[in-house]
Chain A
């Protein structure tokens, strides 16, 4: 986030645009839109300072439905667009809306490099593990063997894990949220908004039409306590309906343990989102259902200079040492000679 927080008196309704929302009824995107409006209204950033940028796909229609500045770009390139906007005007608050196809397949390259540069933007990756807008082909996050319209015999593409990729690309802020857990989603969005640098959030999002119930384990009333673990900074990794299970490190490997007389909370793995070393965050990103509860929340939030700060430092220090450039000096740079 860049603009200084001010009193805006905005409500979520102020962010509703005049466009009719055209996602399928029951789509997880509705919930994300609602929580985003809520988070924005509490951010203290004036509406005109917000720019939503997207690529192509169901998620990428998002900017049309928000009454802020919006740019609906082309497939996979939203990160590059956001970078250009940011480097041109560092006073804006920029949000990229992308999906598992847009951001990890066609736009995978831009995702890596934007994160590595730490351009100060917020990337919300809606992961529904399917291609929706092209009507149901498998995506880079679809599980092996997934039967879709383009893989009637099951997918033979090994899936990638978005948070592992982001951490591998040196992300300074990495988080995960779930479309139906609205309160937690709002919390994660707010954390991302306040982080300086690239914030990468994977949002599990249900596609009712082509991949329904893909994340039912994580949101189902009866299952969620055992299949997810909500991360808290400096707190032990405890989960379960009765909060009686935890994650302990056995050498370099995590294991699920029962809390009892023999195992205390102090024996568990403690979460440290500020650890400069990304090993722990990466380890958490490798915990997957059904072998482990899947971590939700902020995996990593560390300080690192942003690309635009470094860029403007160079510009400003050149101006300080050489003076603001004059065209006369530019033209005369190098050897000149005069003809009378």
Chain B
């Protein structure tokens, strides 16, 4: 929803306060300009204020790409609203551009008539050249469709900070807070949460504390007094279910989920990993929580991380690793070993653009085939996918429940969009979370390494237990006894048993929830991070009377047992994915249904409108036929 149009506003002579349901704002600047921080602050403030929030950072793969260039632009998008939110928003209502490159890289996403705040001090000849611009957009009329507010942010910020004792260069670093102050005024945000943050962060550096405080306030008062804006917007509080909330990113939620699982089982958490974008923040988060008996191990490579996790699981820890597609490729042989030795562990795959190094900081869903099939031999594992940042918590928790019940590796699919995006999370009550009942055979128990229970799981016998000394490994095992065995019939039996065990997990999957009517013209099937865009698009089409429903998959291997029935109740099936049709092929081959794919592979999530248009296109196409 866009803010009041330019034409409307131009006709207004008097200052107005306008109430809006929702707003999408993006801060864009050089990767050293502090845009992520400004965006994060506004997110926290809006969440604490009581809005729904959904965010999407977008930053370059280079830590400091050449300043002023389009390649070095870093952006942070925030969607806040008084209604339930599922996505960070398709189009921008307001854009803050700190330099010409940021303007150039982001202007196409701003709604016509949208608010554009530019730091006019940065529109120098040199910066225009670095951004590859022939003429100055502030002067060549190319921005006529937007409400442009030219603010000399650097100059005003310098003025505000001049008595703080900071050098002009150091004071210049506060300009993100000046810009934030302007936006806070424009959208009627309280200053207190950010002032509190400044005080906590810079308490020991009085000059820096003073400068940031002054910059934020100066920006805010500039908005109030400059008479540049003819209107101001308020976004009322959302009606959220009662409870205590906090903001979480997908990676934070995953880290919290890992610790929670281990604590609920009374086990140490072993997290062996190798730094890789966009998964590293899980390691950073976990390494702060050592008092929860979290043992983080930054291994020498992806392979060592995987194998150490197998060792830790063998010795009884709750063991997990996190990585992205290239890392999963290196871990594949290790995952095969975990399949053969039937040990419980969790692998988190925070997907990014591929193949190879691909687009390290961009999102994609193209590792589904790799997750389900990417090992030598018949090596089935369980694969789950999180649907939103906060859902990473529940997904990781479920992954561990399956891993220890069925003695199997479980892969959790996240992606760059979930990992770095954030939303409000209603904090669960600890008492609501069921404990893990773990059984390890003890001295004197009747024991066979590969005997199976009713779930087809083998016993989790720990080294150190007297009398249960046994050997396991990557060579094929004899059924029940676990001895090395090359017998042809035994190999087929064991392959079938391992497959049957994974299929059995389907018995624990709750019935799928169909969003909309249980049958009809069109069913949209999605998985993972596309949940928000798909659901919003379907909801919007339903409101227009289109016969469309959707179903979203968390369980990708095994698939939910009722999926086939649901698919068959619709005349057509659409599968939107951020890949070239990986779930699509699975649905077509598994259920022999002529499903239709919709593929986007641009390093970006789906916009709601893209899916809406696709649905409409299919429905119209049918109408025409």
Contacts and interface: CB of A to CB of B under 8 A. Distances in A.
Are A and B subunits of one complex? yes
A316 B293 CA distance: 8
B445 to A, nearest CB: 13
Interface string B462-478: 11111111111111000
Interface in A322-338: 322-328, 330-338
A319 B242 CA distance: 33
**Residue of B312, B463, B474 contacting most chain A CB atoms (<10 Å):** B463
B590 to A, nearest CB: 31
Interface string A84-105: 1111110110000000000000
B312 A330 contact: no
A335 B48 contact: yes
A49 B300 CA distance: 27
A208 B300 CA distance: 35
B329 interface: no
A51 B468 CA distance: 12
Interface stretch (B24-32, B146-154, B314-322, B365-373): B314-322
A89 B317 CA distance: 8
B243 interface: yes
A332 B473 contact: no
B463 A84 contact: no
A7 interface: no
Interface string B302-313: 011111111111
A2 to B, nearest CB: 11
A109 B309 CA distance: 17
A328 B429 CA distance: 8
A113 B300 contact: yes
Interface in B425-442: 427-428, 430, 433
Nearest to B463: A69
A335 B246 contact: yes
Contacts of A91: 464
Contact of A48 (B307, B308, B319, B467): B467
A150 interface: no
Contacts of B295: 87-88, 311, 315
Interface stretch (A60-68, A240-248, A277-285): A60-68
A337 B264 CA distance: 25
A339 interface: yes
B402 interface: no
Nearest to B268: A88
A327 B433 CA distance: 11
Contact of A327 (B260, B307, B315): B260
A323 B463 CA distance: 29
B292 A336 contact: no
Nearest to A3: B464
Contacts of B133: none
A231 B34 CA distance: 62
Given A74-B474, A81-B310, A109-B301, A334 B247 contact: yes
Contacts of A274: none
Contacts of A324: 291-293
**Residues of B in contact with A, size category:** 35 or more
A224 interface: no
Contacts of A89: 315-317, 462-464
A260 to B, nearest CB: 51
Nearest to A315: B290
Contacts, number: 213
Contact of A339 (B245, B316, B475): B245
A162 interface: no
A89 B256 CA distance: 23
B382 interface: no
A118 interface: no
A72 B319 contact: no
A340 interface: yes
A323 B289 CA distance: 11
A79 B300 CA distance: 11
Contact of A80 (B303, B427, B471, B483): B303
Given A328-B430, A338-B243, A92 B471 contact: no
B252 to A, nearest CB: 9
A171 B293 CA distance: 28
A92 B259 contact: no
B270 A84 contact: yes
A83 B319 CA distance: 13
A79 to B, nearest CB: 8
A82 B312 CA distance: 9
Contact of A84 (B259, B308, B468): B308
Nearest to A328: B430
A88 B320 CA distance: 12
B463 A48 contact: yes
B303 to A, nearest CB: 6
A57 interface: no
Contacts of B48: 335, 337
A74 B463 contact: no
A254 interface: no
B50 interface: yes
**Residue of B291, B316, B428 contacting most chain A CB atoms (<10 Å):** B291
A17 B299 CA distance: 33
Given A82-B311, A338-B244, A72 B289 contact: no
A328 to B, nearest CB: 6
Nearest to B49: A337
B474 A73 contact: yes
Contacts of B268: 88
A339 B337 contact: no
A151 B406 CA distance: 48
Nearest to A15: B469
Q: 10 tightest A-B contacts by CB? A: A84-B311, A72-B473, A84-B308, A325-B292, A70-B471, A88-B315, A318-B291, A80-B307, A80-B304, A318-B290
8 contacts: A53-B311, A69-B470, A69-B471, A73-B337, A83-B308, A84-B307, A89-B315, A311-B295
Given A77-B307, A88-B268, A89-B463, 13 more contacts: A63-B471, A71-B473, A87-B297, A88-B312, A92-B315, A325-B259, A325-B263, A326-B430, A331-B246, A336-B245, A337-B245, A337-B246, A338-B243
